[in-house]
């Protein structure tokens, strides 16, 4: 049985960037629903009980066809949100340092150019989805709750939820303002650790 991880900070800790109302609803209700529906699907296939979340969502071909869509959507939702809570911090913002900053500057020219490109791709996601910084420092997007890796491949460094449920209460239709606020709370220390040593969330 999978469970929703603790948020790690108070609902209101991200201040005006993301409100307590959104954080509580997003973590306690949306994420919980993904976990509940993932568990319900897996309960019909006890033989999958030994598999990790990454093994499940990273290799959907190995998931029985009758629950493949449920695992893709709700398992992906569980993975993506579990990472997302850690990508943000009340002490976040600023710029990355060390090898991560060096890599970003080498690839994009500057931190600003990197955030401009990430922001543009996040805004270009049609409907619901995610924007990701990959371990090779490329920027990709996925629709719905699809994860940006397959089993055995390194997992993303950071991800940004651009579903409307992530920002509508605060920002209404203005996804650009939400993405701007996201940069104020990104935990670059956490990102640097994942960049240096890829690890499961
Ligand atoms: Mn979400």
Q: CATH code at 107? A: 3.55.40.20
Mean pLDDT by 10 residues, the chain (201 residues): 97 98 98 98 95 97 98 98 98 97 98 98 98 98 97 94 98 98 98 92 82
User: Separation of 71 CA from ligand 1 center, angstroms?
Assistant: 16
Residue 199: per-residue pLDDT: 82
Residue 49: per-residue pLDDT: 85
User: Separation of 167 CA from ligand 1 center, angstroms?
Assistant: 9
Give the count of domains, the chain: 2
Are both 187 and 112 inside the same structural domain? yes
User: Separation of 110 CA from ligand 1 center, angstroms?
Assistant: 29
Residue 189 exposure: Cα atoms within 13 Å on the Cβ side? 4
Please tell me whether the overall predicted TM-score, pTM, comes out greater than 0.95 for this model. yes
d(CA 24, CA 41): 25
**Interior CA angle at 155 toward 12 and 141, to 5°?**
75
Is 39 within a domain?
Answer: yes
Distance from the Cα of residue 138 to its chain's centroid? 15
Residue 40: per-residue pLDDT: 98
The b/e string for 44-83 (b: 16+ C-beta within 10 A; e otherwise) is eeeebeebebbebbbebeebeeebbebbbbbbbbbbbbbb
Are both 80 and 60 inside the same structural domain? yes
Each residue of 146-194: pLDDT tens digit? Answer: 999 998 899 999 999 999 999 999 999 999 999 999 999 999 999 999 9
Ion ligand 1 — residues with CB < 5 Å: 161, 163, 166
User: Separation of 109 CA from ligand 1 center, angstroms?
Assistant: 31
Secondary structure class of 64 (helix, strand, coil):
coil
Residue 201: per-residue pLDDT: 82
Q: Looking at beta carbons, which pairs linking 27-30 to residues 24 or more positions away fall under 8 Å? A: 27/81, 27/85, 28/4, 30/77, 30/81, 30/165
Domain of 55, in residue numbers:
20-87
Are both 69 and 103 inside the same structural domain? no
User: Separation of 27 CA from ligand 1 center, angstroms?
Assistant: 8
User: Separation of 106 CA from ligand 1 center, angstroms?
Assistant: 31
User: Separation of 56 CA from ligand 1 center, angstroms?
Assistant: 19
């Amino acid at each position: 049985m999978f469970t929703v991880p603790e948020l790690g900070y108070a609902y209101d800790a991200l201040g005006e960037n993301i409100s307590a109302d959104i954080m509580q609803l997003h973590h306690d209700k949306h994420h919980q629903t993904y976990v509940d529906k993932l568990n319900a699907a897996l309960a019909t296939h006890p033989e999958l009980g030994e598999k990790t979340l990454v093994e499940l969502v990273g290799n959907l071909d190995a998931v029985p066809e009758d629950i493949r869509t449920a695992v893709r959507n709700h398992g992906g939702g569980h993975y993506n949100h579990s990472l997302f809570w850690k990508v943000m911090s009340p002490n976040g913002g600023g710029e990355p340092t060390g090898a991560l900053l060096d890599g970003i500057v080498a690839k994009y020219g500057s931190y600003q150019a990197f955030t401009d490109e990430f922001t543009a791709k996040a805004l270009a996601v049609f409907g619901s989805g995610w924007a990701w910084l990959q371990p090779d420092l490329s920027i990709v997007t996925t629709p719905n709750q699809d994860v940006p890796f397959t089993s055995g491949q390194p997992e993303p460094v950071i991800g940004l939820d651009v579903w409307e449920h992530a920002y509508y209460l605060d920002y209404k239709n203005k996804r650009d303002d939400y993405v701007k606020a996201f940069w104020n709370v990104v935990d670059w220390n956490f990102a640097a650790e994942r960049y240096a040593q890829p690890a499961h969330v």
